Structure 1
Amino acid sequence: MTDDVVVLRYGHRPGRDDRMTTHVGLTARALGADRVVLPDNAGQSAETIRDITDRFGGPFAVELRDDQRAYTRNWDGTVAHLTMYGERVQDVEADLRADSVASDTPLLVVVGGEKVPFDFYEAADYNVGVTNQPHSEVAGLAVFLDRLFEGEELEREWEGADRVVLPQETGKKVVDPGDLEREDGGE
């Protein structure tokens, strides 16, 4: 896997988009991206994502930037813009994977939060649609990243977590990672 899959959340309307922007960042983190770039007015979302990373592990970075158009235009790598108007993800995923992840070329995944200006479509190497139907940008990002990494991101090991969720059929079980090491015969 490449060390440089970045999700850029274009646009953020404080009060209206707080939860969605936060979930874009959390989805990026959970499903294999290395960092998320948020608009500079999304500070609360950035703090929430950093807090989750501190508690549940990383690495994962969060940046706030006010130059999202220039950031995208000047990106040194592949740009994939997620839009319902793009080519079907199933038609371009192999090419996109070969152009980015397989070749260690940095990938910028642009996820809109408000009306995306046409220059993002022009700057993109790939305009990618997940179902070409209206739905959540969080769902689109999740499907896109899973297709990009071919499910490998689901096996990721997390570093520095102070809690671990143990999978089980029912109920919730969250433990300190040190407890797991002691059970396995570690420290």
Structure 2
Amino acid sequence: MEETPEVAVLRLGHRPGRDERTTTHVGLTARALGADRVILAGSGAGRGETIEDITDRFGGPFSVESTDEPIATVENWEGPVVHLTMYGLPIQEVEGEIRDVAGIGSDDTEDLLVVVGAEKVPFDVYEAAAFNVAVTNQPHSEIASLAVFLDRLFEGRELDREWTNAQQVVVPKAEGKQVTEPE
């Protein structure tokens, strides 16, 4: 049976008053597009509450953690580390190698840490990462970068993910909105 590596997203930095929605959206994007957990760097009461609430309502599995030592998290990670940065190598040149190293689609997997910055990322992260990856070498949103990366990593399979323990389920419709309780 094919194993799936754990994919964790580390959100580096958080500028209070400026990044609340962005940090939340990094976590929601990670959850929706196939990651298993998000690790939020730094303290801040309630930063993960919205992500946890969405997971409770719309299903999981997905977890939210925090760390006061994000560089140690990167340096001590036991599998490959991917740092998303506009200064990195183009994703289309390295995505296959990343899938191979993580063991996506094979029986031999290694957990993958995806690092997404907020403020200036310490050079230690660039050095510790196995891959510094750009979805484009133009300025853009870290949320967009994470979404494109995860979709490329999983080759679209994350869009068919099954959610467990949901209290609410979105019913796809061509027009309008419908949310129901699971059967």
Question: So what's the TM-score if we normalise by structure 2?
Answer: 0.95
The question of 1:159 aligning with 2:164 is answered: yes
Q: For each residue in 1:158-180, what CA deviation from the matched residue of structure 2 results, as whole angstroms up to 9, or x when unmatched?
A: 000000001111110000002xx
Q: State the Cα distance separating 1:3 from its structure 2 match.
A: 4.1
Alignment of 1:17-166 (within 5 A): 17-102=19-104, 103-166=108-171
Mapped to 2, the partners of 1:38 and 1:9 lie a distance apart of: 5
Aligned length: 178
Per-residue CA deviations over 1:6-40 (Å, capped at 9, x if unaligned) read 00000001111000000000000000000000023
Inter-partner Cα distance in structure 2 for 1:13 and 1:57: 29
Letter in 2 for 1:88: P
Structure 2, unpaired ranges of 5+: none
Residues 30-77 of structure 1: CA deviation (Å, up to 9, x unaligned): 000000000232442311100000000000010011000001001000
State the TM-score, normalizing by the size of structure 1. 0.93
**Higher-Rg member (1/2):** 1
Q: Which residue does 2:14 correspond to in 1? A: 12
Task: Pick the structure with more helix per residue.
Answer: 1
Measure, in 2, the Cα distance between the counterparts of 1:149 and 1:55.
24
CA RMSD after TM alignment: 1.0
Whether the 8 Å contact between 2:5 and 2:102 is mirrored in structure 1 is: no
